[in-house]
Amino acid sequence: MRIRPLHSLLTLLLAVPTLSWAAPGTPAAASAERDSQQRNTQVQSLDDLKAQEWGLSNQEYQRYQTLMQGSRGVYSPGLDPLTALGIEAQSDAERRRYAELQVRAEAQRVQKELAYEQAYRDAWNRLYPNLQPVQAGGQAAPQVSPAVRGSGRLAVFVSDSCAACTERVQALQSAGQDFDLYLIGSQNDDARIRRWAVLAGIDPAKVRARQITLNHDGGRWVQLGLGGELPALVREVNGQWLRQ
């Protein structure tokens, strides 16, 4: 066995960093304690604000936190405080109270969302008064049939959850390509297709000139039966729809 020289061992020991430790009563210890108290105060203040937001006492919000750290958090991750406390209520009176609080909270939420939806419609009509989605040929979507008749133009099928769809549509627009856009899953909601057009950066002037048309899919994509990922660029050629 090889024995290391004494001076090598001393060098290794001196190279090991020493742990810093603040003795009680020293300025460093006092500073660390102040920092800890400040963090605790900030956390408590945040919890107090959350409790007030839900109409709960501090003790109720603490119980909610405890519940979510246990089996309730495993069964229902992300559950809101009122629902969690209502499910785990310890009496009928508690259960009724949390149910009433939740009904009031839901009513306020719906009122806010409806107010914003109205503001959104007003803003749309003010900023884009002439940008209106249309159905193909100005008519409702056709019923399921063996074939879907095309307009001879490029048809682009997109969806809300498709990031690549936005990029492809922007590229087509930049290239000066005319096309008919169909939003899959729009549920005939004009506000949804308008929002998609704005987020995709579609030029309202091109829509007014009908270089680009905005359409509800209305089941067309399913009828074509082409499958594959979106976006889908398709064109009718001699009565047959082909991906481009």
The residue among 74, 95, 127 that closes a domain is 127
Do 96 and 194 fall within a single domain?
Answer: no
User: At 202, which CATH number?
Assistant: 3.40.30
Do 117 and 198 fall within a single domain?
Answer: no
Number of independent structural domains in the chain: 2
Do 160 and 195 fall within a single domain?
Answer: yes
Instruction: Report the amino acid identity of residue 229.
Output: E
Which residues constitute the domain of residue 238? Answer: 136-243
Do 97 and 178 fall within a single domain?
Answer: no
The residue among 127, 160, 185 that closes a domain is 127
In a domain, 7, yes or no: no
In a domain, 44, yes or no: yes
Q: Does the predicted TM-score (pTM) go above 0.85?
A: no
The residue among 127, 158, 193 that closes a domain is 127
Do 146 and 102 fall within a single domain?
Answer: no
Do 123 and 145 fall within a single domain?
Answer: no
In a domain, 155, yes or no: yes
Both structure tokens of 30: 């006092």
Do 59 and 146 fall within a single domain?
Answer: no
Could you tell me the CA-to-CA distances from 32 to 37, 39, 44, 46, 230 in Å, in that order?
Answer: 9, 11, 18, 21, 56
What pLDDT does residue 46 have?
78
CB atoms within 10 A of CB 120: 13
Mean pLDDT, 10 residues at a time, the chain of 244 residues? 49 48 59 63 73 90 91 85 91 92 82 76 74 45 45 87 88 92 88 85 86 89 84 84 83
In a domain, 15, yes or no: no
* Of residues 54, 118, 58, the one with CA closest to residue 86: 54
In a domain, 190, yes or no: yes
In a domain, 204, yes or no: yes
- Tell me whether residue 220 is exposed, middle or buried, using C-beta atoms within 10 angstroms of its C-beta: 0 to 12, 13 to 18, 19 or more: buried
What pLDDT does residue 136 have?
39
What pLDDT does residue 89 have?
92
